[in-house]
Structure 1
Amino acid sequence: MVSLAGTCGNALVIVLYMTCAKLQATVSNLLVVSLAITDLTTCLLVMMPSAWALLADRWPLTAWTCDLHCAVNYLCIIVSMMTMALISGERFLAVTQPAIHRNRMTRQLLARLEALVCVEGVVFAAVPIVFRWVRYDKWEAVCAIDWFTYSEALIYVLVAFVVCFSLPAVFILITNTTIICVSYVSSRARVLPHSLPAQENGRRRAKDERPEKRANRSSLHHVIVRSMLVVIIAFFVFLTPFSVTKLIKMWTMDEDSVPGPVNLMATLCQYVASAINPFIYFLLRRDYRAAAWRLLRPQEQPRPHAFQRQLQVPEVVPYDSCDMMQLNALPQFQDNK
């Protein structure tokens, strides 16, 4: 159920981004769709094989697919974590240095940074396959690294935890704390424009509408910040049980130090972190809800306004005969003489 919900939700986010020009105009949505692609990969290539293995009470596929399952799982977790760090950095720059963000933060730059994140994830995910450290964990229902048998695997896990999780987590904590403080101060200091009566001069009216447009852009900015904060908080909340169980096992070096059902629930929480993001977008962001509504509802032909229908020119019927009624309908010109 979690896999199906995550697959439908993340696929819808990707389709909306590809079909809606308004979503593509917002630079930060590129990171959102990248995170959706990562979560969709987790739902298809990690969750579904885990559900199959859980029902079969063993790994039902071949050995090399177990290695691939472990690699894809680690790749998606690392890319998700680093993408969260990129989202936090992009929002931090947008809040603290808006001028630099408008001039420097382009879609090409974010694409290059996301490509580097994917390369880092591929490197760390390939190491366990190269050294054959992977085995199927029955209670976690995933193919994971066996650091109890291979001592070198423990060093790798510690390095990966520091580089791919601890450092990004500290960066995310600092940047989002700053974002919350700056957003709170700016919301207290912001003065909303008063509604002015319509002016006859068009230039005066356009000048009066500028504060309203700035207020709308500021409102969209705060909505994006709020939704991204909720996504990051949800990611850490659901990933924490999985990380804590791993740390306990590494600290005690005892595989049975964590009960089996607790391991299974920790894995399920990790999967929920990849499936919940689309629902946060649709709940908190009006632009995604509007794009989804335009995509899912049937297209209707717009009807002209009543005033426009009155202005439509009637079709002219040619006069093929000399009927007196048609001749009388022609315009009459009186001779003043």
Structure 2
Amino acid sequence: MALNVTLKTSFTNDMEPANYTDVPQIPMRSTLAVGLSSLIVCFICLATVLGNVAVIYAIANTRKLREKPSSIFLINLSITDLSSALFVMLAAFIYISLDLDRVNTIWCNFVCAMNYCLIIVSMMTLAVISVDRLISVLYPFKYHDIVTKGRVVAVIVFTWIQGFIFGIAPAFQGWVHYDYWEAICAINWHREPRVGPINYVIGAFALCFIVPAIVILVCYTVTIRYAKISLRNSIPASASSSSIQNNNVEVRKHNKDGYLGLKTITSMLVVVAAFFICLTPFSVTKLIKVITNDSYNVPPYVNLWAAFFGYLSSMVNPFIYGILRPDFRRAYKKMFHRMMGRQSYHLHETTMIFYSPVNIISKQRRSQHNRSLYR
């Protein structure tokens, strides 16, 4: 995307026209850049909505996934990603499509608060999931006594309260402005005095990112270690009890559960890695602006692409589940078959009932018929 030579005045929402002469000017997006950027944001937004709706639907309609208290964490993560698509990405799509250089102050404050809140809730949820995985490995027989639905809901509520508090603070302080090239409402790092925004960033970064990152690193390191030890110890048991069929069945089931557990842990590790990778460009550009006290040290299109990468963190999770987790693959396939075969299924079932007495088709044959539709 080549830069257009036309310049546009950069200003915050509360600047008066009389002050424009002292404000630096930035290049406008070209028409081609506006079109391509709009398409990219639109694609990411649609993929995020469809993917996360599929995750929630799969969990709600799959008994094994629905019965796990930990699945509530995944639903919460999907809800935050969906909210990001509907409030943050959709807003960015409108800003870019219309090539706006100014946004209503109240709306800008709302979008900024939502963006920061959702990022924090996602980060905290990933940390809580790592603790949940550690408990499942260290205390497999007490897991359901420790991780109850009530406690899971309480933890989720806490993550939202923390995200809400840190999210609305910049808006209440009047630190928010619209960044034309990032196409996002964010903190104006160069507004005087800078002490307030800088202290806020340090506190939020420490409590909402550093601490959860340490928790994630420690929990997954210990979890993988104990999971591998548990899986390795089950192999000799298989050899020593090979003459006893019941024990063989028990050991095979234990091995299968162990492998599935490792796949679940691996999938969540990839989710965490993807989250950090996608947010790294966005965080680095922000850090450069804060350290140098100059927004123009970062090239305009670097700002834009950094924002795009940040949006990807909300899009990739459903695909990671589908690739790395067999239980989600089966749930996705079942959901797909239901969507594709629902109309023909209901038509066939209605025709069968109309032409045949109810007692002719036994319950066993009917269940076999239903299973054959979803193979």
* TM category, shorter: 0.7 to 0.9
Q: 2:333 matched to which residue of 1?
A: 293
State the Cα deviation string for residues 217-276 of structure 1 (Å, max 9, x = none).
222212211111111111111111111222222222221222221111111111001100
TM-score, with structure 2 as normaliser? 0.74
Matches within 5 A, 1:19-168: 19-58=61-100, 62-150=104-192, 151=194, 152-168=196-212
Q: Structure 1 206/163 Cα, relative in aligned 2: closer, same or farther at 3 Å?
A: same
Q: Structure 1 86/141 Cα, relative in aligned 2: closer, same or farther at 3 Å?
A: same
Q: Structure 1 33/59 Cα, relative in aligned 2: closer, same or farther at 3 Å?
A: farther
Shift in Å at residue 190 of structure 1?
A: 3.5
Q: Distance in 2 between matches of 1:44 and 1:59?
A: 21
Correspondence for 1:224 among 264, 274, 283? 264
Amino acid at match of 2:298: V
Amino acid at match of 1:216: K
Does 2:216 correspond to 1:172? yes
Amino acid at match of 1:58: L
**3-state SS of paired residue (2:235):** coil
Q: 1:238 matched to which residue of 2?
A: 278
**3-state SS of paired residue (1:139):** coil
Q: Distance in 2 between matches of 1:175 and 1:63?
A: 41
Contact in 2 for aligned 1:59/1:66 (Cα 8 Å) = no
Q: Distance in 1 between matches of 2:325 and 2:199?
A: 42
Q: 2:292 matched to which residue of 1?
A: 252
Q: Distance in 2 between matches of 1:141 and 1:209?
A: 58
Contact in 2 for aligned 1:88/1:176 (Cα 8 Å) = yes
Larger Rg: 1
Q: Structure 1 190/205 Cα, relative in aligned 2: closer, same or farther at 3 Å?
A: closer
Contact in 2 for aligned 1:66/1:143 (Cα 8 Å) = yes
Does 2:312 correspond to 1:268? no
Q: Structure 1 21/135 Cα, relative in aligned 2: closer, same or farther at 3 Å?
A: same
TM-score, with structure 1 as normaliser? 0.82
**Matched pairs, number:** 302
- Relative contact order higher in (CA < 8 Å, ≥ 6 apart): 1
Correspondence for 1:6 among 48, 52, 57? 48
State the Cα deviation string for residues 65-112 of structure 1 (Å, max 9, x = none).
111110110011000000011011111222233344332111221111
Q: Distance in 2 between matches of 1:45 and 1:31?
A: 21
Q: Structure 1 233/224 Cα, relative in aligned 2: closer, same or farther at 3 Å?
A: same
Q: Distance in 2 between matches of 1:255 and 1:230?
A: 32
Q: Distance in 2 between matches of 1:58 and 1:181?
A: 51
Q: 1:323 matched to which residue of 2?
A: none
Contact in 1 for aligned 2:227/2:258 (Cα 8 Å) = no
Q: Distance in 1 between matches of 2:294 and 2:142?
A: 50
Shift in Å at residue 183 of structure 1?
A: 3.1
Q: Structure 1 172/6 Cα, relative in aligned 2: closer, same or farther at 3 Å?
A: same
Per mean C-alpha deviation after superposition, the further-off stretch among 209-218 and 84-93 is: 209-218
Per mean C-alpha deviation after superposition, the further-off stretch among 23-32 and 5-14 is: 23-32
Q: Distance in 1 between matches of 2:121 and 2:250?
A: 40
Q: Distance in 1 between matches of 2:231 and 2:273?
A: 21
Q: Structure 1 121/83 Cα, relative in aligned 2: closer, same or farther at 3 Å?
A: same
Which consecutive residues of structure 2, in runs of 5 or more, have no partner in the other structure?
1-42, 353-359, 366-375
Does 2:330 correspond to 1:284? no
State the Cα deviation string for residues 121-162 of structure 1 (Å, max 9, x = none).
011111112122111001111000112104222221221111
Which consecutive residues of structure 1, in runs of 5 or more, have no partner in the other structure?
310-337
Q: 2:253 matched to which residue of 1?
A: 213
Contact in 1 for aligned 2:87/2:111 (Cα 8 Å) = yes
Q: 2:37 matched to which residue of 1?
A: none
Q: 1:181 matched to which residue of 2?
A: 225
Q: Distance in 2 between matches of 1:295 and 1:215?
A: 28
Shift in Å at residue 187 of structure 1?
A: 3.9
Q: Distance in 1 between matches of 2:203 and 2:81?
A: 24
Q: Distance in 2 between matches of 1:42 and 1:214?
A: 39
Q: Aligned-residue CA RMSD in angstroms?
A: 2.7
Q: Which runs of 4+ in 1 moved over 4 A?
A: 204-208, 299-305
**3-state SS of paired residue (1:191):** helix
Q: Structure 1 59/68 Cα, relative in aligned 2: closer, same or farther at 3 Å?
A: farther
